Structure 1
Amino acid sequence: FFQEARSQEMLEHPPIVQERDFFEQDGQFFLIMKYIDGQVLDEIIESKGKLPEREALAIFKESLDTLNFAHSKGVIHRDIKPSNILVSKNNRAYIMDFGIAILAGEKRLTATGMNVGTAWYMSPEHIRRPKTIDHRSDVYSMGIVLYEMLTGEPPFDGETDYEIKEKHCRFPPPPPIQKNSRISKIMNGIILKALKKNPDDRFDGCGEFLRYIKAYEAGGIKKKTVTNAPEKKLKKTDAGKMAAEKLPLKLKKAETQKIATEKISPKRRSVQNWLVAVALTLAVVWGFDKFLTEEPYKTATGIHEKETGSLNINTYPRGAEVFINDEYKGYSPLKVSLRSGEYQVSLKKESYITKEENIHVESGGTENFSYRLEKMPATLWIISNPPGADVYIDGRKKGETPVTMKDIDIGRYDIKVALEGYETWQRIVQLSAGSQEVLRARLVSSAWTEPVTGMKFVRVPKGCFRMGTPEHNPTGGSDEGPVHNVCIEGFWMGQYEVTNAQYRKFRPEHDSGDHDGYSLNGARHSVVQVSWEDANAFILWLNSKNNGIYEFRLPTEAEWEYACVGKADAAMSRGDNPDDDADRDENHHWLSQIFYYYDATAIAGSYRYNAFNLRDMLGNTWEWCEDMYSSDAYSRHRKNNPVYAGDGSSRVVRGCSSTGRKSGNLRCADRGAGLPDFRSSYLGFRLVRK
Structure 2
Amino acid sequence: MAQHQVGDYEILEALGQGAAGIAYRARQVHTDEPVALKLLVDQVANDQAMQQRFVREASVAEKLDHPGIVRFRECGVHDGQLFIAMELVDSGSLDDVLAEGGALPWREACEVAAQACDALAHAHDRGVVHRDLKPANLFLTSDGQVKIGDFGLARDADRHRLTLDGQTVGTCRYMAPEQVRGDDQLTGAVDMYAIGCLLHMMTTNDCPFTGETVVEVFEHHLFTPAPALSCRCPNCPPALDKLVARLLAKEAADRPGATEARDTLQSIIEGREVAPLAVASEASRDEPIIEPNLTERLKANAKPAKPTVSTARLAAAAAVVAAIALVALLASRG
| SS in structure 2 of the partner of residue 130 of structure 1 | coil
Q: Specify the code of the residue in structure 1 equivalent to 2:263.
A: R
Q: Which residue of 1 aligns with 2:168?
A: 115
Q: Does 1:219 align with 2:275?
A: no
Q: Which residue of 2 aligns with 1:63?
A: 116
Alpha-carbon shift at residue 216 of structure 1 (Å) = 2.1
The number of equivalent residue pairs is: 221
Picking from 233, 236, 241, the partner of 1:180 is: 233
Alpha-carbon shift at residue 11 of structure 1 (Å) = 0.5
Q: Does 1:15 align with 2:77?
A: no
What CA distance in whole angstroms lies between the structure 1 residues aligned with 2:164 and 2:80?
A: 19
Residues 83-130 of structure 1: per-residue CA shift (max 9 Å, x gap): 100011222101100111111265423147642111011100111143
Alpha-carbon shift at residue 65 of structure 1 (Å) = 0.4
The within-5 A match list for 1:358-377 is: none
Picking from 30, 36, 39, the partner of 2:83 is: 30
| SS in structure 2 of the partner of residue 22 of structure 1 | strand
Any unmatched runs of 5+ in structure 1? 223-690
- Structure with greater strand share of residues: 1
Q: Which residue of 2 aligns with 1:296?
A: none
2:165 and 2:182 in contact (8 A); partners too: no
What CA distance in whole angstroms lies between the structure 1 residues aligned with 2:115 and 2:246?
A: 20
Q: Does 1:164 align with 2:217?
A: yes
Q: Specify the code of the residue in structure 2 equivalent to 1:219.
A: G
Any unmatched runs of 5+ in structure 2? 1-53, 275-334
| SS in structure 1 of the partner of residue 133 of structure 2 | coil
2:62 and 2:72 in contact (8 A); partners too: yes
What CA distance in whole angstroms lies between the structure 2 residues aligned with 1:117 and 1:50?
A: 23
| SS in structure 2 of the partner of residue 144 of structure 1 | helix
Residues 36-88 of structure 1: per-residue CA shift (max 9 Å, x gap): 11111011111111101222222221111011111111111111111100011
Q: Specify the code of the residue in structure 2 equivalent to 1:149.
A: M
Picking from 171, 175, 194, the partner of 1:141 is: 194
Residues 1:32 and 1:195: Cα distance change in structure 2 (over 3 Å): same
Q: Which residue of 1 aligns with 2:127?
A: 74
Alpha-carbon shift at residue 12 of structure 1 (Å) = 1.5
Q: Specify the code of the residue in structure 2 equivalent to 1:67.
A: L
What CA distance in whole angstroms lies between the structure 1 residues aligned with 2:159 and 2:227?
A: 35
Picking from 196, 209, 213, the partner of 2:261 is: 209
Residues 1:28 and 1:143: Cα distance change in structure 2 (over 3 Å): farther
What CA distance in whole angstroms lies between the structure 1 residues aligned with 2:272 and 2:176?
A: 29
Residues 1:166 and 1:29: Cα distance change in structure 2 (over 3 Å): farther
1:104 and 1:134 in contact (8 A); partners too: no
Aligned alpha-carbon RMSD (Å)? 2.0
Q: Which residue of 2 aligns with 1:87?
A: 140
What CA distance in whole angstroms lies between the structure 2 residues aligned with 1:26 and 1:146?
A: 44
Greater than 4 Å deviation, 4+ residue runs: 25-28
Alpha-carbon shift at residue 220 of structure 1 (Å) = 6.6
Q: Specify the code of the residue in structure 1 equivalent to 2:133.
A: I
Q: Does 1:99 align with 2:123?
A: no
2:167 and 2:182 in contact (8 A); partners too: no
What CA distance in whole angstroms lies between the structure 2 residues aligned with 1:45 and 1:57?
A: 15
Q: Specify the code of the residue in structure 1 equivalent to 2:245.
A: L
Residues 338-394 of structure 1: per-residue CA shift (max 9 Å, x gap): xxxxxxxxxxxxxxxxxxxxxxxxxxxxxxxxxxxxxxxxxxxxxxxxxxxxxxxxx
Alpha-carbon shift at residue 27 of structure 1 (Å) = 6.3
| SS in structure 1 of the partner of residue 83 of structure 2 | strand
What CA distance in whole angstroms lies between the structure 2 residues aligned with 1:28 and 1:164?
A: 38
Q: Which structure has the greater CA radius of gyration?
A: 1
Q: Which residue of 1 aligns with 2:247?
A: 194
The within-5 A match list for 1:520-599 is: none
1:59 and 1:91 in contact (8 A); partners too: no
What CA distance in whole angstroms lies between the structure 2 residues aligned with 1:210 and 1:164?
A: 27
Q: Specify the code of the residue in structure 2 equivalent to 1:206.
A: A
What CA distance in whole angstroms lies between the structure 2 residues aligned with 1:111 and 1:104?
A: 14
1:15 and 1:92 in contact (8 A); partners too: yes
- Structure with greater helix share of residues: 2
What CA distance in whole angstroms lies between the structure 1 residues aligned with 2:213 and 2:80?
A: 32
2:200 and 2:208 in contact (8 A); partners too: yes
What CA distance in whole angstroms lies between the structure 1 residues aligned with 2:126 and 2:273?
A: 30
Percent identity for Structure 1 against Structure 2 = 35
What CA distance in whole angstroms lies between the structure 2 residues aligned with 1:154 and 1:37?
A: 26
